[in-house]
Amino acid sequence: MSDNQLNVVVVCGSLRKASYNASLARTLPALAPPGMAVKAAPGWETMPVYNHDLHADGKFPAEVTAWGDSIRAADGVIIVSPEYNWTIPGGLKNAIDWVSRFKEVPFKEKPVALQSCAGGALGGARMQYHLRQCLTSIDALIFGKPEIFVSFSAKKFDEKTVELTDQPTIDIVKQQLVGFEKFIRRVNGRH
């Protein structure tokens, strides 16, 4: 591991065990280029549903702080999420809503790349464009192309193990990760 290796965290927008998006998220450490170490961010599933009254005294729930710290410390964030009702799943939005309330918002000027898997043809596109809108409000630096929309996921993941088996998908994800590393180095000034 070089001193100049980037540290990137992955956030998954789905909680269910057999999630395609969770499976894709798990592949990323192995698909990442050598200059970029990728690992999972802490989970968001035990965060309470956002309510300003819960932090009116200035104290945030421990898991919110942990998640925020992990994002803040990372050189970049990859969000892998399904699309619920044409937009961002409520649980993922909940985590973002919470950390957006810190004085130092961890997404500020943070490089972020997006990926989504879906059962249908659009591959989560509507969700990603909303997420771009949401991340813009908290001043993240959102990576452009290639975009990763994994459509008709049932055909691309193993029926039993839910492992990603589709080679074109694997190839384009690798391409995005290479591009994301370059993007992070450019915007962070770490060449």
Partner 1 sequence: MANVITICGSLRKGSYNRIVMNALPGLAPDGMQIKEAPPIGEFPLYNADIQNSTGFPAPVQALADAIRAADGLIFNTPEYNFGVPAPLKNAIDWVSRLPNQPFAGKPVALQSASPGPVGGARVQYDLRRSMVFLDAQTLNKPEIFIGNCAQRIDEKTGKITDEQTIGFIKQQLIAFAKFIAAHGGRS
Q: In one letter, which amino acid is 1? A: M
Give residue 66's region: left, alpha or beta (phi > 0; psi -120 to 50).
alpha
Q: Is 156 an interacting residue with respect to partner 1 (CB under 8 A)?
A: no
Q: Is 37 an interacting residue with respect to partner 1 (CB under 8 A)?
A: no
Output b/e per residue, 99-110; b: 16+ Cβ within 10 A: bbebeebbbeeb
Report d(CA 186, CA 109) in Å as an integer: 12
Report d(CA 191, CA 182) in Å as an integer: 9
Binding-site size for partner 1 (CB under 8 A) equals 34
Report d(CA 170, CA 155) in Å as an integer: 13
Q: Is 33 an interacting residue with respect to partner 1 (CB under 8 A)?
A: no
Question: Pattern of binders to partner 1 over 2-21, x per CB under 8 A?
Answer: ------------xxxx----
Q: How far is the CB of 135 from partner 1 (least distance, A)?
A: 8
Closer Cβ to partner 1, 32 or 105, answer by number:
105
Closer Cβ to partner 1, 101 or 190, answer by number:
101
Report d(CA 129, CA 40) in Å as an integer: 23
Q: How far is the CB of 80 from partner 1 (least distance, A)?
A: 16
Q: How far is the CB of 185 from partner 1 (least distance, A)?
A: 27
- Among 2, 4, 51, 167, contact with partner 1 (rule: CB under 8 A): 51
Hey, what are 83's tokens? Answer: 């699309």
Q: Is 151 an interacting residue with respect to partner 1 (CB under 8 A)?
A: no
Pick out residues in 90-149 that bind partner 1 (CB under 8 A). Answer: 90-91, 93-97, 100, 126, 130, 133-134, 136-138
- Contact positions toward partner 1, by CB under 8 A? 14-17, 44-45, 47, 49-53, 56, 84-91, 93-97, 100, 126, 130, 133-134, 136-138
